[in-house]
Amino acid sequence: MKRCSLILLLATVVAARAADSDGFVPLFNGHDLTGWVNANCAPETWSVRDGLIHCTGQPTGALRTERQYENFILEVEWRHLSRGGNSGVFIWGTPIAAPGVPFLRGIEVQVLDHGYAEQYEKQTGKKPDWFTTHGDVFPIHGATMKPFGRHNGDRSFPSEDRSKGFPEWNHYRIVGTNGVLRLSVNGKEVSGGENCNYRKGYLALESEGAPVEFRNLRIRELPSSGVSPELTAPLDLGWRPLFTGLDFRGWRTNSATGNRWQLGGGRIELKDGLTDAAATLWTENEFGDAEFVVDCRPAKPADGKSAAVPTIEVRGVGGTGAEVKLEGARPGSYQRFVLTVKGREVTVKRNDQETQRFMLSADAPARGAFGLRDVGGAVEFMNLYVRDL
């Protein structure tokens, strides 16, 4: 019995060394999500079940790597757990969601079940001509790419139909070199593109509405080409999401009614109506020196009315805080604001341009909650992040 155990152990060691000899290293340890960051989902969206990365599909968002990659060969296996499931693998992505959407900016390698196309045909009465379910590759939300082969706009269509439908496993091999991306589906190259921007960034798995699982994620890095800063995604500065995308966990209000705020499509929505002075939506956590990301969109006003000006409160204590009006927020259009609170100084940037700078009062507290103020008019908020300074 001992001899058999020893032989089995030696065989396992030899197999492990053989696996390492091809230069690949695992991206997933099979036990937990070490090495991965929940970019903008609820805590339970991503988990490990039976040695697999499991995703509930709710809300839409991403699980990304802790570090960036430039040139590499990435292998991943995936399967949908329901017919018509939607997901993706993001390449060279940003650390947080792009403005006004729940997706990272990057190149998406589509992970789509055949049932999605079947549902589309049933609803529209025609077969889809702008997507396939066999490995489309395309840039999203600010990224760019010149597609290979048959394409629709900048979306590269696969040259063959090779992916398997729910509930079978599929194998993707993604090669990224010097801004060129190539996808092989179940053993054969089918799609991709060149002149990608970015061409260095984070890798990510996508949550988009349906449960999906991933396994056997491994990567072999290739020599760097010395990519320029302009073609490199921003580095993660320690951002943490303030909103689960699903519910008000981590938030509170002093209003007795509490119904001025609602949830919808991964957004926090302030209803139109009479202002409730006590209805500021506060974080349960308090912050000192910190930086906040806020994407907001005021509703287009009715004739003769002015649009609401989204308003933030910082260093809130006992139900009050310093008011910061997000001037320049355009009705009907999401814009990104970054608020920096350091010492008594507050700086506001809108779409990367500084728009305000002022000092808090001398008696302002050193720490306090972050709040979304009830301003009466309808406003939507999403992509709420914080990082400590």
Q: Does the pLDDT value for residue 212 go beyond 60?
A: yes
Residue 332 and residue 297 in contact, taking contact as beta carbons nearer than 8 Å: yes
Does residue 16 carry a pLDDT above 50?
A: no
| pLDDT value at residue 14 | 44
Which residues, 6 or more positions from 20, have their beta carbon under 8 angstroms from its beta carbon?
none
Q: Please state which of the ranges 6-10, 82-86, 116-120, 233-237 shows the lowest mean pLDDT.
A: 6-10
Among the listed ranges 11-15, 207-211, 234-238, which one has the minimum average pLDDT value? 11-15
Positive or negative CA dihedral for 37, 280, 349, 263?
A: positive
Pair of tokens at residue 239: 């951002």
* Reported confidence tier of residue 259, pLDDT bands at 50, 70, 90: confident
The pLDDT of 171-176, averaged and rounded, is: 98
Share of the chain above pLDDT 90, in %: 84
The confidence band for 285, taking pLDDT boundaries of 50, 70 and 90, is very high
Average pLDDT, the chain: 92
Per-residue CA distances from 155 to 106, 171, 233, 262, 271 (Å): 13, 21, 21, 35, 37
Asked if pLDDT for residue 6 goes beyond 70, the answer is no
pLDDT of residue 258: 59
User: Within a 10 A sphere around the Cβ of 25, how many other Cβ atoms?
Assistant: 10
* Residue 19, pLDDT above cutoff 60: no
pLDDT at 256 > cutoff 60: yes
Q: Which tokens go with 62?
A: 């991403």
**pLDDT at 358 > cutoff 60:** yes
Render pLDDT for 298-353 as a digit per residue (tens, 0 to 9).
Answer: 998 876 677 889 999 999 988 788 999 999 999 999 999 999 999 999 999 999 99
**pLDDT of the residue at 281:** 93
In the predicted model, is pLDDT for residue 15 greater than 70?
Answer: no
Assess contact for 60 and 207: CB atoms under 8 A. Answer: yes
The structure's pTM equals 0.91
At residue 9, does pLDDT exceed 60?
no
Tell me how far apart the alpha carbons of residues 57 and 104 are, in angstroms, rounded to a whole number: 16
pLDDT at 87: 98
256-267 mean pLDDT? 82
Residue 17 pLDDT exceeds 50: no
Reduced to 3 states (helix: H, G, I; strand: E, B; else coil), residue 245 is coil
Q: Is 156 helix (H, G, I), strand (E, B) or coil?
A: strand
- Residue scoring higher pLDDT (110 or 2): 110
Least confident range of 32-46, 178-192, 295-309, 330-344: 295-309
H-run or E-run covering 354: strand 353-359
The predicted model gives 278-292 an average pLDDT of: 94
Does 213 have pLDDT greater than 80?
Answer: yes
Least confident span in 25-39, 58-72, 117-131, 253-267: 253-267
Q: What domains lie within the chain, and their CATH numbers?
A: 22-233 (2.60.120.560), 251-388 (2.60.120.560)
Strands 311-317 and 281-287: unpaired
pLDDT value at residue 368: 95
What is the C-alpha to C-alpha distance for residues 295 and 242, in angstroms, rounded to an integer? Answer: 12
Distance CA 249, CA 284 (A): 9
Nearest residue to 262 (alpha-carbon basis) of 240, 286, 279 = 279
239 has pLDDT over 70: yes
C-alpha triplet 94, 142, 232: angle, nearest 5°: 45
pLDDT mean over 225-252: 96
**Lowest-pLDDT choice from 12-21, 252-261, 276-285, 329-338:** 12-21
- Kindly report, residue by residue over 289-313, the tens digit of the pLDDT: 999 999 999 998 876 677 889 999 9
The count of residues in the chain is 389
Task: Compute and round to an integer the Cα radius of gyration of the chain.
Answer: 24
Q: Would you say the C-alpha torsion 365, 366, 371, 375 has a positive or negative sign? A: positive
What's the pLDDT band for 18 if we cut at 50, 70, 90?
A: very low
State whether the Cα torsion 107-63-212-52 is positive or negative.
positive
Segment 28-52 mean pLDDT: 97
Q: How does pLDDT run across 149-173, given as a tens digit for each residue?
A: 999 999 999 999 999 999 999 999 9
